[in-house]
Chain A
């Protein structure tokens, strides 16, 4: 994937760039908003990773607003040290797609970048999600594995749906918290782990091949191969 990173802090930029490159992505870097805007407007990228506060007169929010005004729909992930809810809302309103507060774990950034860049196209809304022998019917709201119906609660259904929509991608705990529960706070305990393990009990227990995998230091992933 071609990623544009606009970040003024050299150390953070180097770290993010290196990490993304190691994950197999092609990263362009701009150190200020003006250069970032120029690059983003003139070259195609799969995703933009923007610092919220940038030198050079064009900050992250302005950059996105300008791009969106030009009809550029490239997904945008904001990085910011501003954690206040207002700031977050401002970033998302301007046209950002996701918001990650500094400091962050690189795994969190990578997971969000990959999920954003491979957003499912919305032109053909899926009514069924499938992986290996697990099948989810979004209309009937039923889940079957190997033809056997699995009883599942509404929230577990949403959790599984989220995992399935991003099958093969790492989904972090915070992402699940934000996307499945719409909570933007620290729940203090490992609540997400408990929910995933409950789901796992229902989906994977009694089958020889587990589908939900824990990715160390990052989160969870649903995939067919072991």
Chain B
């Protein structure tokens, strides 16, 4: 075989068939198909019931009318028989035939020798037993074959009587009706199938956006969201839930990204600095004292890194909701009073004052330590940026049944709108704060703690419009 010539792979004729079969199976397994099938079954069942009722009310009613007429006729003739014997019956039959305008009545009276005494039948219907029975049969009347409903009785003394009605007209009506119902059944089946197909398609169409979004997300595009229609139906609710879930995942992912960014930046930088300093001290001709100072500095740098790391972990813990295990019912008031007192000493040394405005009691379910730390961070921030002589005000209240606001206000320079929007991002530090110590993680933690407690952190001007606008930070807790 010359090189370059590749034998084509053997064809698998069964492959396609199997594929089609599997496709069929998948189609039948789809929820849309099942809904559609259910719809079709219910639709056809309802149509059948409808036809049944119709049949009973029309064709059935006609039959019953005929039977009633025959029975009345027969009873009347039996009465005559008892009163007057064969002669009276023959008379009565003749009368009735004479008054039968429609020409549908059938009578035949035979004597013991099977001789015809009266009636319009040529002979006894073949196969009809001479006792009280109802039958349908073909009879010979005045030379013509007709379809009739018959009732035969033996009157006594071997006289027998047959009473009947020509049902040809009614049969015709019946046939018409049956045909109509048959056509209606075909139409109903067609509608059922059409409806099923439409339903299946509708379900598929409504699910398609969600399915496409889920696929895109599975493929890694987390920015996709399920489009929500205006209908506010089940599918929209499902889509909404999916979007909420995606929002949460996105936030967590952003958090993870944020952590790696911040690890890259705010941990690497001090590590690099510490390393450089240590290396420098080692490389130069230095005396023991300098070396010692360098090592102490190195340890201080490492401690700083540890603290940043600890803060990051704590934020991550709060954001992941892992700290909910430490949730307990507690009264927020002493917690806040303690924190205010704790930082009060710092305020005093800085020439600032802390004012506290708390109600008698505020019940929450939460993590005492995290709440204290969050409020502590806010107070710490406020004290850092409030000049000497300024004041920080801590208040809390429950403006609504399931809400508690913890407010920390200061008389510092406040934050510009753009800084406010970015505050709370990890490691964000407004330009004004570059000179002060801090990791830039304080507000991130506050926000994470607020989220953990079903709330959020809000920042605004404490006194808008004033030359020194101050900052008002509100931790809003959702009381679960």
Main secondary structure of the interface of B (DSSP, over half): helix
Q: Write out, one digit per residue, whether chain A residues 81-108 have a CB within 8 A of any chain B CB (1) or not (0).
A: 0011110010000000000010101000
Of B307, B342, B370, B437, the contact of A186 (CB 8 Å cutoff): B307
Known: A84-B317, A194-B345, A194-B349. A187 touches B369 (CB 8 A): no
Q: Which positions in B face A, CB cutoff 8 Å?
A: 299, 302-303, 306-307, 310-311, 313-314, 317, 322-323, 325-326, 338, 341-343, 345-346, 348-349, 367, 369-370, 372-373, 376-377, 380, 383, 437-439, 442
Of A103, A187, A189, the contact of B302 (CB 8 Å cutoff): A103
CA distance A6 to B307 in the complex (A): 26
What's the nearest-Cβ distance from chain B to residue A5, in Å? 22
A84 with B322: CB separation less than 8 A: yes
B345 with A191: CB separation less than 8 A: yes
B369 with A85: CB separation less than 8 A: yes
Q: What are 10 of the A-B contact pairs (CB < 8 Å)?
A: A83-B313, A89-B326, A185-B372, A186-B307, A186-B311, A187-B342, A188-B438, A188-B439, A189-B346, A191-B346
In the complex formed, the residue of A with least CB distance to B300 is: A217
Query: In the assembled complex, which residues on chain A have CB atoms less than 8 Å from the CB atom of B346?
Result: 189, 191, 194
Query: In the assembled complex, which residues on chain B have CB atoms less than 8 Å from the CB atom of A183?
Result: 342, 369, 372-373, 376
B307 with A191: CB separation less than 8 A: no
CA distance A20 to B117 in the complex (A): 139
B310 with A83: CB separation less than 8 A: yes
Q: CB of A15 within 8 A of chain B?
A: no
* Contacts A155-B342, A188-B376, A195-B345 supplied; 15 other A-B pairs, CB < 8 Å: A83-B313, A84-B313, A85-B326, A85-B367, A181-B338, A181-B342, A183-B369, A185-B372, A187-B342, A187-B380, A188-B380, A188-B437, A189-B380, A189-B437, A191-B346
Q: Which positions in A face B, CB cutoff 8 Å?
A: 83-86, 89, 101, 103, 105, 155, 181, 183-189, 191, 194-195, 198
In the complex formed, the residue of B with least CB distance to A85 is: B326
In the complex formed, the residue of A with least CB distance to B322 is: A84
In the complex formed, the residue of B with least CB distance to A190 is: B346
Query: In the assembled complex, which residues on chain B have CB atoms less than 8 Å from the CB atom of A86?
Result: 322, 325-326
What's the nearest-Cβ distance from chain A to residue B332, in Å? 15
CA distance A7 to B341 in the complex (A): 40
Query: In the assembled complex, which residues on chain B have CB atoms less than 8 Å from the CB atom of A184?
Result: 369
CA distance A189 to B323 in the complex (A): 24
CA distance A149 to B367 in the complex (A): 39
In the complex formed, the residue of B with least CB distance to A184 is: B369
A187 with B376: CB separation less than 8 A: yes
CA distance A95 to B246 in the complex (A): 42
What's the nearest-Cβ distance from chain B to residue A100, in Å? 13
> Considering the complex of A and B, which 7 residue pairs feature the smallest CB-CB distances, nearest first?
A185-B373, A194-B345, A195-B345, A188-B380, A85-B326, A194-B346, A184-B369
In the complex formed, the residue of B with least CB distance to A101 is: B310
A191 with B342: CB separation less than 8 A: yes
Give the residue among A84, A101, A195, A198 with the most B Cβ atoms within 10 A: A84
A188 with B349: CB separation less than 8 A: no
Query: In the assembled complex, which residues on chain A have CB atoms less than 8 Å from the CB atom of B373?
Result: 183, 185, 187
What's the nearest-Cβ distance from chain A to residue B179, in Å? 79
CA distance A89 to B369 in the complex (A): 13
In the complex formed, the residue of A with least CB distance to B383 is: A189
Of A84, A103, A198, the contact of B345 (CB 8 Å cutoff): A198
What's the nearest-Cβ distance from chain A to residue B338, in Å? 7
Query: In the assembled complex, which residues on chain B have CB atoms less than 8 Å from the CB atom of A103?
Result: 302, 306
CA distance A83 to B348 in the complex (A): 33
In the complex formed, the residue of A with least CB distance to B306 is: A103
CA distance A89 to B313 in the complex (A): 17
CA distance A99 to B442 in the complex (A): 25
CA distance A183 to B299 in the complex (A): 24
Query: In the assembled complex, which residues on chain A have CB atoms less than 8 Å from the CB atom of B341?
Result: 155
CA distance A155 to B343 in the complex (A): 12
